[in-house]
Structures are given as C-alpha cells and as structure tokens.
C-alpha cells in the first residue's frame, strides 16, 4: 500500500461517490501533518504540489521526502503535480517517478492544448503515471499560475472530444469555482459537472475547493467530483498555526514544539475534510 497511482484512490471514490482530498503540501511539516491525518482517519489522500513549490525545493527532494513519509503508513497516498503549464517540468516530474500531473494548457489554443496533453499522456503511460487535463482556466491565481477571470466557456461536446481524444485519466471541468478566497458566493454549474460525467464516465476534479459550503461539496462529489483540491485552506492553517503559537508563547524558543503544533493543526484540518468528503474509513 502507501504510495499508489492516482486511479487507485480515485476509481473507488468515483464508483462509491466519495471525494478524495488533494492537498497542496508546501514542505515536510505539511506533508507529515497531512499523512498522519490520513493514517488516523484511515483515508486515501492525494498530495499535490504547485509548480512554484516544485521549483522551490526541487522535484527529487519532494519525491524522496514524500515517498519516505508515505511508505511509513498503510493508507494509499499518491503524488501529483498541480497546474503545470510547462511541458519540460511535467516531463521531469514523470521521469522522477511522480504518480500524476495536471498539464494546464488552458492558456493555449484548443489544438495546442490537445496536442501537448496527448503527448504528455503518452509519456506518462510509459512511466505508469496518469494525467489530469484542463481546457478552461479556473478563475483566480494559485501560486503564480492563472489569471483573475475564468476562461471562456466552450461547448461540452468540445470538452468531451478533448477528454476522449487525449487519453487523460481525469478532468477539471469549468463549473464556476475559483482559486483563492471567495469574495462572494460562487454560482456553481452543477449541470456542467453532471453532463460531462454522463458523456465520459470519467472521474472529475474540483478546483477552488477551499471555502465552499458543505452542501456544495456534497452535491459535486455525488455528481462525480472524485478529487477535491484544497490549497488555500491549507496555506491559511499553516500561516495561522505559526502566528497563533508564537503570539501565545512569546518566550518559547523550541522549534520542535512550534512546528509540532503547526503539524497538529494541519493534521486536524485534513481530518475535517476526510469526514466531510466521506473518505474517512475508506482506506
Ligand atoms: Zn486548481
């Protein structure tokens, strides 16, 4: 068990209609907190890494740290590269043994995105890895990738052509969610999620997951969102964990107590989502 491929966690979730949380880990403290949370909740989990974080630490350091930590626990966990618009980085991560990658060609023309996504899918298959695809940009900026506005909506038929023709394993449909903090309640397009699943029978990915209501999560997961991305809430938990601890204990200088406290905060946050998404006890 421990380190598995993306379908090993998403196929059961899609079939039994629960969601697997995909957290954007930042460092070893967040990785360890998330993995401990998954173990205690007996939950499958996806660890994903932004390209910005990938470049900060290096793909091998992250892969090795992830593998060492994930192999200590019995629950299935997979390592995914989030929103990667750079084919070279996607290729490098696959060569290093990462389990999957989201090739984000949403800024490209349909034809260019189709062509490169298909190439990366073929490359991934050689490594036993998998690809998430994206056609319409999710609104909001996430770790330097993306813009303020959602990309132009396209006919569902074109999305289906992309999904089936490129050979991707899962897809991020444009359903009105956004990266970052929501300034007002989003207008969720449940119909698009439903129609895309009906036309493809493929597991879907929910981006902009932080800050939605419990009811929105439940409805989208029931429609086929088998991977639910949580990035902003993790960043907030992490930063507030340091701030709260240091403000409460201004004379404390033991680094392990400090990061141990933050690690526990991250673990509790992860366990909240496992319960909410129905993945608790599914490992
Ligand atoms: Zn995203």
For residue 125, pLDDT over 90 is answered with yes
For residue 181, pLDDT over 90 is answered with no
For residue 141, pLDDT over 80 is answered with no
Q: How far apart are CA 93 and CA 103, in angstroms?
A: 11
Catalytic site residue 187? Answer: no
Q: How far apart are CA 98 and CA 189, in angstroms?
A: 32
Which of 82, 104, 143, 265 does the annotation list as catalytic?
A: 82
For residue 147, pLDDT over 80 is answered with no
What is the model's pTM? 0.95
Task: Give pLDDT, residue 138.
Answer: 84
Task: Give pLDDT, residue 180.
Answer: 87
For residue 127, pLDDT over 90 is answered with yes
Domain definitions of the chain by residue range: 6-277
Q: How far apart are CA 170 and CA 121, in angstroms?
A: 11
Output the CA–CA distances (angstroms, integers) from residue 10 to 5, 107, 230, 231, in the order listed. Answer: 9, 26, 16, 19
Ligand 1 centroid to Cα of residue 12, in Å, is 22
Task: Give pLDDT, residue 45.
Answer: 98
Q: How far apart are CA 29 and CA 117, in angstroms?
A: 33
Domain 6-277 has CATH 1.10.287.70: no
Confidence of residue 150 (pLDDT cuts 50, 70, 90): low
How high is the mean pLDDT of the chain? Answer: 95
Task: Give pLDDT, residue 186.
Answer: 87
The total of other beta-carbon atoms located within 10 Å of residue 144's CB is 10
Ligand 1 centroid to Cα of residue 102, in Å, is 9
Residue 109, token pair as written in the block: 């023309």
């Amino acid at each position: 068990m421990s380190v598995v491929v993306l379908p090993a966690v998403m196929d059961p979730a899609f079939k039994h209609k629960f969601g697997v949380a995909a957290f954007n880990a930042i460092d070893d403290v967040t990785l360890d907190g998330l993995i401990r949370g998954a173990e205690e909740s007996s939950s499958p989990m996806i660890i994903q890494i932004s390209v910005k974080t990938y470049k900060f630490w290096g793909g091998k350091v992250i892969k090795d740290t992830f593998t060492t930590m994930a192999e200590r626990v019995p629950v299935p966990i997979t390592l995914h590269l989030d929103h990667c618009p750079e084919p070279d980085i996607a290729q490098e991560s696959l060569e290093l043994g990462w389990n999957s990658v989201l090739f984000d060609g949403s800024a490209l023309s349909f034809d260019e995105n189709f062509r490169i996504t298909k190439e990366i899918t073929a490359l991934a298959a050689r490594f036993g890895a998998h690809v998430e695809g994206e056609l319409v940009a999710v609104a909001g900026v996430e770790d330097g990738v993306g813009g303020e506005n959602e990309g132009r909506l396209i006919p569902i038929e074109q999305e289906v052509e992309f999904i089936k023709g490129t050979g991707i394993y899962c897809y991020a449909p444009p359903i009105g969610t956004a990266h970052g903090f929501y300034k007002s309640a989003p207008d969720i397009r449940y119909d698009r999620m439903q129609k895309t699943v009906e036309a493809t029978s493929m597991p879907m990915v929910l981006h902009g997951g932080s800050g939605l209501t419990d009811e929105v999560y439940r409805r989208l997961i029931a429609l086929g969102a088998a991977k639910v991305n949580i990035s902003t809430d993790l960043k907030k938990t992490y930063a507030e964990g340091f701030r709260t601890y240091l403000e409460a204990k201004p004379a404390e200088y033991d680094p392990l107590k400090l990061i141990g406290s933050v690690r526990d905060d991250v673990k509790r946050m992860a366990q909240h989502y496992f319960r909410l998404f129905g993945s608790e006890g599914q490992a």
